[in-house]
Amino acid sequence: MLTIVFDLDGTLIDTAPDLVDTLNFILAQEKLPGIPYEKARNLIGGGARGMMERALIAEGRSCSTAEMDRLYAAFVAHYAAHIADRSRPFPELEAGLEWLASNGHRLAVCTNKLEWLSKRLLDTLKLADRFAAICGQDTFGIQKPDPEVFRLTVRRAGGEPSRAIMVGDSGTDIHTARAARVPVIAVDFGYSEVPIATLQPDRIISSFADLPDAIVDLAATQP
């Protein structure tokens, strides 16, 4: 049995529509121009605060810590109320998760999203029960790419870190897996700012229909 640890945004769920809508709502409140969807989509990955900070930098605006705290709180409040207006699982996800579970693998989520937002999103989409652990940036007080957050997530799910695989969409996920010394599967439909192949994950999939074969291949390399 392996523990398969998934990133959330851009890996399990296409959350960009609601995140970008929230970002542009906050920018409008600040009387700043919105950011086009395709550009803003690539700002996702470091958590909501990171997304907001990068958006403001792109607009040439610097903020004090107190001002950023205020904007971040407003972002979280608005996003929480609209968390699944347009966010949806990526195609074939549920069938892929079902295959993993039926083959005895544990499933977990390790994300830089806040834990309660992650659980709310997955609850709303009726996916939360699929995962033995859902851990966010605030769960342990550390976040990816620190490998310890990966290890702690695996342990919370009841697994062993040496018997785990990471599935993600970004350099952050790949760096986390490398630091934790576990294999990593990358999806090529997520929010990476660069072509995912340039980051050299162990496997790349273009659909969750391809996940079972990738897991079988990598399982053969596990101790």
Q: Which CATH superfamily is domain 3-14+87-219 in?
A: HAD superfamily/HAD-like (3.40.50.1000)
Nearest to 32 by CA among 66, 77, 63: 63
Question: Do the beta carbons of residue 18 and residue 1 sit within 8 Å?
Answer: no
Alpha helices, DSSP H, located in the chain: 16-29, 37-41, 47-58, 65-81, 93-102, 115-124, 147-156, 171-180, 211-219
Q: What is the pLDDT along the chain (223 residues), one digit of tens a residue?
A: 899 999 999 999 999 999 999 999 999 998 888 889 988 888 886 678 888 888 888 778 877 889 889 999 999 999 999 999 999 999 999 999 999 999 999 999 999 999 999 999 999 999 999 999 999 999 999 999 999 999 999 999 999 999 999 999 999 999 999 999 999 999 999 999 899 999 999 999 999 999 999 999 999 877 6
Residues assigned a catalytic role: 7
Class of domain 16-81: mainly alpha
Q: Domain ranges for the chain, please list them.
A: 3-14+87-219, 16-81
